Structure 1
């Protein structure tokens, strides 16, 4: 039967052992793609195209993203639970007041403005509570 592996088989084995050791050294010096000892840390990367049935997650431009065949979603685009602000109640002030506003008209309009202020503060505080934006100053 002819030799299918030309040359000295013992030299080939020694070369394979050297190659394996070199690969081990290269792998031990390579930086990992992610680190999870204190949470996941990802380096920025380009967003690749993703085939149907696949999902790619990563960091791009400092933003976390999820890419699928149907597109890319970044953190601001993702639905975040628990942040729905209070829905404003109906206004109590009249739509029109005629030529002589009364104290009651003023008080109703003031109450409506105060109610809207509460709703805006709710939006600001709930967004800050999930780190969607910085907390407002005290």
Structure 2
């Protein structure tokens, strides 16, 4: 009986000492919109852009994205089912100063449990 009590206590301690990292598996979410600004002078207009790529990075130490999605018809997006932690959400803007022609526009956010945060507007340009 004493042996089972020790095993139970060790198992319980191991269960509660595990820290969950940022990522999928929670009840929090991040929302926002992507706005296209015409800085080329082509008079293409400025609008919330539909069907545009948005990326999310889980945690502070990662450099590559963990999930991506397309914006809705109104330029909005929502990353759902996230655990508490820190996230970086970004989309790409066209620039002439970068050899690839693209530059990421980042927004950082820290989520708590069961929390929805609106990061506002990510402004990209053509």
- Length-normalised TM-score, structure 2: 0.25
Which is helix-richer, 1 or 2?
1
Work out which of the two has the higher radius of gyration on C-alpha atoms and give 1 or 2.
Answer: 1
TM-score by length of 1: 0.24
Bigger proportion of residues as strand: 2
Q: Which has the higher contact order (CA 8 A, sep 6+)?
A: 2
